[in-house]
Amino acid sequence: MSCRKVQANSWVARCAIAGLALSLLACGRRASSETAAAPVALPKPPAVGDAPGAWVLRYFAPATGKFVAVRTPAEVPEGARGQVIVVPEDPALQGPWLYVADFTKKSGATYAVRTVDRMALEQQIAKANPPPPAAAPAAAAAAAAAPAAAAAGQDVVVYRTAWCGYCKKTAEYLKLKGVPFVEKDLERDPGAREEMLARAQRAGIPASQLQGVPIIAIGNHVITGFSREAIDKALGV
């Protein structure tokens, strides 16, 4: 083979390698741009004051498991004022998010309102609380016989909703103290509301006082709302 043919073949090979490298680089850039897509920005929450506005205020009543609709913050019961959903009348402001107001915090003429990506919250909660594996028949029978004995001890259950910020603070505080606990969603978990009501009745708390979330059951104690002092007292620490 002549030197000219060798040089030509070498030049062709170098071009082919360079072309392959460029195509791989382009694919890498394209894949990177697809995986690194910027998250959708959540809308700014509405400014909510004491007067009625272009929205409906909804607070969750754990005793009934339903939302109660009102027009002004003054109509929200004391125990539910920390977690109130603001539903704008403008369809353009509605979407896969929630506006959650805290009527215990006020700056000037407006209350604290935050925008919550409900789908993201539920995914985080599901990831943090995977369903337990199916129990064997003997283990299931033992678990069925355990509630009465467990209720007399220091078992801890946080009854919550997915959008509740104070429920998250409760979970963080219990984890910080190294206290094992179970979270149950009052909107979605079957039997959670009935179980909560039964524990409240045993603790001598009427359903009329079960306003707002979280509701924390620690042994024979039931706490409405997030309170570090009340949790420590119920734990005996």
**What gap in Å lies between CA 221 and CA 15, rounded to an integer?**
77
What integer is the mean pLDDT of 148-176? 81
Core vs surface per residue 21-58: b (16+ CB within 10 A) or e = eeeeeeeeeeeeeeeeeeeeebeebbebeeeebebebb
Neighbours of 146 (CB within 10 A): 11
Axis crossing angle, helix 228-235 with helix 165-176, rounded to the nearest 10: 40
E strand or H helix that includes residue 70: strand 66-70
> Is there a contact between 80 and 59 (Cβ–Cβ < 8 Å)?
yes
Residue pLDDT, tens place only, 57-74: 999 999 888 999 999 999
pLDDT of residue 131: 54
Residue pLDDT, tens place only, 93-136: 888 889 999 999 999 999 999 998 877 766 665 665 555 555 44
Write out the two tokens for 34: 């697809």
User: Does residue 143 register a pLDDT over 70?
Assistant: no
